[in-house]
Amino acid sequence: MVTVRSIIALAASKGWNMFQMDAHNAFLQGDLEEEEQTDIVIVLVYVDDLLITGSNITLIEKAKQILNHKFKMKDLGELKYFLGIEIMKSTRGVLLNQRKYVLELSSEMGLSGSKPTITLLEVNRKLTTREFDEATNSTRDELLSDANAYQRLIEKLLYVTITRLDICFSVQTLWQFMQMPKRSHWEAALRTIKYLKNSPGQGILLQSGVTQQLTCWCDSDWASCPNTRRSVTGFAVKFGNLLSPGNLRNNKQ
Digitized pLDDT (tens) for each residue of the chain, 253 residues in all: 778 888 888 888 888 889 988 887 655 555 556 666 688 899 988 888 899 999 999 999 999 998 888 888 888 889 998 888 899 888 888 889 999 999 999 999 999 889 999 988 887 778 888 888 778 777 788 899 989 999 999 999 999 998 898 898 889 889 989 989 999 999 999 999 999 999 998 988 887 876 667 788 887 777 666 666 677 777 777 776 654 433 334 444 3
Predicted structure pTM score: 0.76
Q: Exposure string (b/e) for 203-239, b if CB count within 10 Å is 16 or more? A: bbbbbbeeeeeeeeeeeeeeeebebeeeebebebbbb
Q: Which residues contact 157 (CB under 8 A, 6 or more apart)?
A: 105, 167, 171, 174, 189, 192, 193
Whole-number Å distance between alpha carbons of 228 and 83? 37
